[in-house]
């Protein structure tokens, strides 16, 4: 896990779209990936965006997020 303020943060966070409230980047070493035929995977639908993180981050402010 790479957190805001760490040495690796600037190089990693730039790889993602900016989002208010970003606090960490999870880094993993993938050894094996397998696809699924999808026969039993349920179909899901996007309903709406959640604004809870944005409201929380705005209330904290930049200094609060770093803290």
The tens digit of pLDDT for each residue in 13-67 reads 999 998 888 889 999 999 998 887 778 888 889 999 999 999 999 998 888 877 7
Residue 30 has φ and ψ, to the nearest 5°, of: -90, 125
* Number of domains the chain is built from: 1
Residue 40 within any structural domain of the chain: no
Residue 15 within any structural domain of the chain: yes
- pLDDT score for 59: 93
SS3 54: helix
Going 7 to 12 to 17 to 20, the CA torsion angle's sign is: negative
Residue 37 within any structural domain of the chain: no
Q: How is residue 56 written in tokens? A: 């929380």
Residue 12, domain extent? 2-32+45-66
Which residues on neighbouring strands pair with residue 3, listed in sequence order? Answer: 24
pTM above 0.85, yes or no: no
Residue 50 within any structural domain of the chain: yes
């Amino acid at each position: 896990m790479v957190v805001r303020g760490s040495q690796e943060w600037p190089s990693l966070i730039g790889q993602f779209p900016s989002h208010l409230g970003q606090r960490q980047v999870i880094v993993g070493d993938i050894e094996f990936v397998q696809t699924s035929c999808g026969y039993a995977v349920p179909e899901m639908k996007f309903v709406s965006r959640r604004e809870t993180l944005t409201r929380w981050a705005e209330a904290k402010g930049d200094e609060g997020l770093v803290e």
